[in-house]
Amino acid sequence: MRKRHIVLTLYIVFLMLPIYWLLNMSFKTTNEILGGFSAFPRDFTLDSYRTIFTDPTWYNAYINSITYVVINTVLSVAIALPAAYAFSRYRFLGDKHLFFWLLSNRMAPAAVFVLPFVNLYSAVGLFDTPWAVALAHTLFNIPLAVWILEGFMSGVPKELDETAYVDGYSFPSFFVRIFLPTISAGIGVAAFFCFMFSWVEMLLAKNLTSVAAKPIVAVMTKTASTSGYELGLLAAAGVLTIIPGAIVIYFVRNYIAKGFALGRV
């Protein structure tokens, strides 16, 4: 028993060290960072954070990122819901093929799609808007949401549907008033994964935007490459990108593990 605790603690320390180092850097002055190695900030400063919250390039980038992540999450989950219901309740022409075709999109490298996406979204006039990124991310988020939701829905007995129809519910009112509340945990998990994959993705987000809708990841890479000495700023921006994830994870902690296990390959 003892040994288990030690292994687990070591692993968590290993996970936390880089995050601590990032925090540590974000509270240091540039001089101290370049001055040499120190395990904790000697001249504690909030300057890096102050820059981010006052410079519109920085805080707008956060707003842009959150905008497309939210659009993507809402869109993916909303249109995946009826499809997942169809997959879990009915057999129809080509259902299995369709399901595997959807999942195969999860295997497509984003690098393959960069160039065609830029062409496609320029052609429909969405380039450099949050919509372009949100729609592009649905390529891998919709299949994932369908997969997770289908797993949860299959766990709900069919008698629930039948009883509701006998009681005189129409399909839409049954779906919204009875079915959705029953699988709310599943919706939470699906939304969590859509949020997560949209929030962490950079290649598409960066290349589908130029000025107006520039996401935080793009601003950060620019800082990283043009001025290597602004490490403090980079670290502070990094810390701020971890916070939304940490908040979301806290709310769904009890469902995360379940979400994976219930899906099927």
Partner 1 sequence: MNKTVNNKAWWLVLPVFLMVAFNALVPLMTVVNYSIQETFGNNEFFWSGTTWFEQILHDGEFHASLRRQLVFTGLVLLIEIPLGLAIALCMPRQGPWVSVCLVLVALPLLVPWNVVGSMWNIMALPDIGLLGKGINALGIPFNYTRQPISAWFTVVLMDVWHWTSLVLLLCYAGLVAIPDAYYQAAKVDGAGPWAVFRHIQLPKLKHVLTIAVLLRFMDSFMIYTEVIVLTGGGPGSTTKFLSIDLVQKALGGFDLGPAAAFSIVYFLIILFLSWLFYTLMMREEAR
In angstroms, give the least distance from the CB of 109 to partner 1. Answer: 4
Candidates 57, 119, 163, 227: give the one binding partner 1 (CB under 8 A): 119
Candidates 133, 136, 190, 194: give the one binding partner 1 (CB under 8 A): 136
In angstroms, give the least distance from the CB of 14 to partner 1. Answer: 7
Q: What is the Cα–Cα distance from 139 to 142, expressed in whole angstroms? A: 6
In angstroms, give the least distance from the CB of 131 to partner 1. Answer: 13
> Which range binds partner 1 by CB under 8 A, 20-28, 40-48, 50-58, 180-188?
20-28
| 75 touches 134 (CB < 8 A) | yes
Angle at the Cα of 136 from the Cα atoms of 133 and 141, rounded to 5 degrees? 110
**Complex with partner 1: residue 33 or 187, whichever CB lies closer:** 33
In angstroms, give the least distance from the CB of 111 to partner 1. Answer: 4
Candidates 60, 169, 202, 230: give the one binding partner 1 (CB under 8 A): 202
**How far lies 96's CA from each of 87, 102, 141, 150, in Å?**
9, 10, 19, 13
Long-range contacts from 157-165, C-beta under 8 angstroms, 24+ separation: 158/89, 161/89
Would you count residue 209 as binding partner 1 (CB under 8 A)?
A: no
> Which range binds partner 1 by CB under 8 A, 52-60, 125-133, 141-149, 177-185?
141-149
Would you count residue 109 as binding partner 1 (CB under 8 A)?
A: yes
Q: What is the Cα–Cα distance from 249 to 245, expressed in whole angstroms? A: 6
Long-range contacts from 86-91, C-beta under 8 angstroms, 24+ separation: 87/146, 87/150, 88/150, 88/153, 88/154, 89/153, 89/158, 89/161
Would you count residue 178 as binding partner 1 (CB under 8 A)?
A: no
Interaction residues for partner 1, span 148-177 (CB under 8 A):
154, 158
Which backbone phi and psi does 42 adopt, to 5 degrees?
-85, -45
> Which range binds partner 1 by CB under 8 A, 11-19, 45-53, 125-133, 180-188?
11-19
